[in-house]
A and B are shown apart, each in its own frame.
Chain A
Amino acid sequence: MGVYRTMATTTTIRHSRRTSKTLLEPTGKEVESYEPPKLLVPVDPSRDHIQGDSKAILTLVEYGDYQCPFCGAAYPEVKKVQKELGSKLRFVFRNFPLTNVHEFAMDAAETAEAGAAQGKFWEMHDFLYEHQRTLGDHSVALAYAKKLGLDTQKFEREISQHVYQKRIKDDFMGGVRSGVNGTPTFYVNGVRHDGPAEADAIVKSLTAKP
C-alpha cells in the first residue's frame, strides 16, 4: 500500500483559489503569487467534532475519508501531533467521503456520526481507522458499538435511515469550497497544509510564527 500521496511530494507550489477580481487576469500570474487556500467554514463548537480544548490556540482540521488508505496512514501522525502539542491544540475532523471510489466510505462516515449522536464520536472514529480492512463488514462496528454501551437499535436505525447523510454531504461541499482536493486534506490554523501529512511537518506548520 502506498502510504504517501502526491500532496507530500508537491509541497509548496499549489494554486490559490482565486476570487472574482482575478478571474479575468492571465493565469500565469497565479503560479507566481502562490497563496494556499483558506478554510472557508470556520470551526463551530456547536457542530464540529473537536478533540482537545475547544478554545485552544492552535487548530488542526482534517477532511478525511475512513476508507482512504492515505487517511489511514495519517491517523497515527495526527495522534503524534496531539501528543506533542497537548492542550495547545484542538483537532477537528470533518467528513470527505469519496464515495465513487470508496464504496464503504459513506457507511463508515454514517457509523461515526451515529456514534457521535451518543457521545462516542472519537471512539468510533479511532476504531474505524484502526480497522480499515473490516469496513465492508458492518457487524464489526456494530459489535464495537455494543461494547461501548451504545443503544445499538438507535445506532443501527440512524445508519440505515441515513439520518446523518446531509451533515456528511455538507461537510464535503464545505471542504470543496475550501480547496480540499483529495484526502486527507489538513488545515493548520485556517490555512491549507500543503506539506506532507506527517507529524513533524504538521507540528512545524502549526507552530510557525505568522
Chain B
Amino acid sequence: MRKDSSILNPGRKAPNFSLNSTPDQKVSLKDFRGQPVILAFYPADWSPVCTDQLSLYAMVMPEFKKFNAELLAISVDNIWSHLAFAKDRKLNFPVLSDFEPKGNISRKFGAYKEKIGESARALFVLDDKGIVRWSHLSPDGVNPGAEGILSALEQLNKPQA
C-alpha cells in the first residue's frame, strides 16, 4: 500500500502553470480563475483497458459542466502522443504535456513518482480562486472513477466547515 501522501492538500493555493495542449498552444491554470477546475494527473497515455479513467471523464463531462468546471488532464507524455490518445479516446478536454522539464508541474503538486518517472494518479478540485478544495491520490493501477470529483464539486457550493 502506498504511503506516499505528499500531494497538495486542501486549503493550499494551486501553483500556476502553463503547459502545451497542442504543439503551438499553451493552457495556463490562471486562465480558468473564476470557475472550478479539476486537475487529473495520470501516469501515461494508452493504458491497456478499454474503459480507462479519462474515457470515463469524457463521458461524465456534461455533469462536470453543470458546475461550470473545467477539466485538465496532465501527464509527462509528449504532445504528439497526447494528440493521438485524445483523438482515439474522444477526449473532450485539454490533455496537457508535462514534458519539459519533465514532471516539473506534477512535482509542484506532489504528484510525481521519481523512481518511475511518471505522474501519480492524483486528482485535485480547485475552487474559483484556484484554492485546492479536494485532493485524492490513487494507489497504482486503481481507477478512482468520477464520484469523488462530483462530490467535491457539490461541496464547493456549500459553506465551508
- For the complex, what is the distance from the CA of A101 to the CA of B58, rounded to whole Å? 10
B84 at the interface (CB under 8 A from A): no
Query: B104 at the A/B interface (Cβ < 8 Å)?
Result: no
- Interface status of A82 (Cβ within 8 A of chain B): no
Q: Which of A83-91, A107-115, A179-187 contacts B (4 or more CB under 8 A)?
A: A179-187
**Using an 8 Å CB-CB cutoff, how does the interface string of A145-187 with B read, 1 for contact, 0 for none?**
0000000000000000000000000001100111111110000
Q: Are A27 and B151 in contact (CB under 8 A)?
A: no
Interfacial residues of chain B within 45-61, with CB under 8 A of chain A in the complex: 47-53, 55-56, 58-60
B50 contacts A98, C-beta separation under 8 Å: yes
Given A18-B148, A24-B161, A28-B5; A5-B49 close (CB under 8 Å): yes
Q: Are A178 and B161 in contact (CB under 8 A)?
A: no
> In angstroms, how far is the closest chain B Cβ from the Cβ of A169?
10
| A2-41 interface bits toward B, Cβ cutoff 8 Å, 1 = contact, 0 = none | 1001100110011101111101111111111000010000
Task: Judge if A70 is at the interface, Cβ distance under 8 Å.
Answer: yes
Cα–Cα, bound, A15→B52 (Å): 16
B51 with A68: CB separation less than 8 A = yes
Q: Are B50 and A23 in contact (CB under 8 A)?
A: no
The answer to whether B42 has its CB under 8 Å from any CB of chain A is no
**A20 and chain B: residue at smallest CB distance:** B155
Task: Kindly list chain A residues whose C-beta atoms are within 8 Å of the C-beta of B5.
Answer: 26-29, 31
| Band of interface residues on B | 35 or more
Chain B interface main SS type: loop
Bound: A31/B4 CA distance, A: 9
Report if B16 contacts A (CB, 8 A). Answer: no
* B94 at the binding interface (Cβ < 8 Å): no
Contact check, B53 vs A181: say whether CB atoms are below 8 A apart: yes
Alpha-carbon gap, A181 to B51, bound state (A):
8
Contact B11 A28 (CB under 8 A): no
Chain A contact-residue range equals 35 or more
Contacting chain A: which of B18-26, B33-41, B70-78, B132-140? Answer: B132-140
- Residues 142-161 of chain B: 1 if any A CB is under 8 Å from the residue's CB, otherwise 0? 11111110111001001001
Q: CB-CB < 8 A to B161: which residues of A?
A: 20-21, 24
Chain B residues lying within 8 Å of A14, measured Cβ to Cβ, are 139, 142
Select which of B1, B48, B90, B155 is within 8 A of A23 by beta carbon: B155
Report the Cα distance A33→B68, complex, angstroms: 32
- Say yes or no: is A99 at the interface (Cβ < 8 Å to chain B): yes
B148 CB contacts on chain A under 8 angstroms: 15, 17-18
Chain A residues with CB below 8 A from B150, complex form: 176-177
Question: CB-CB < 8 A to A46: which residues of B?
Answer: none
* With known contacts A98-B56, A100-B89, A30–B142 Cβ distance under 8 A: no
What separation, in Å, do the CA atoms of A19 and B148 have in the docked complex?
Answer: 8
Measuring CB to CB, which residues of chain A are less than 8 angstroms from any residue of chain B? 2, 5-6, 9-10, 13-15, 17-21, 23-32, 37, 65, 68-70, 98-102, 172-173, 176-183
The 18 listed contacts between A and B (C-beta, < 8 Å) are A9-B141, A13-B139, A14-B139, A19-B151, A20-B155, A23-B152, A26-B5, A26-B9, A27-B9, A27-B135, A31-B3, A68-B50, A100-B55, A176-B147, A176-B150, A177-B150, A182-B49, A182-B56
Extra pairs beyond A2-B48, A27-B5, A98-B50 (8, CB < 8 Å): A6-B143, A13-B139, A14-B139, A15-B138, A15-B144, A23-B134, A31-B5, A70-B51
Pick the 9 closest A-B CB pairs, nearest first: A28-B5, A181-B145, A182-B51, A17-B147, A100-B90, A181-B143, A13-B139, A10-B141, A24-B10
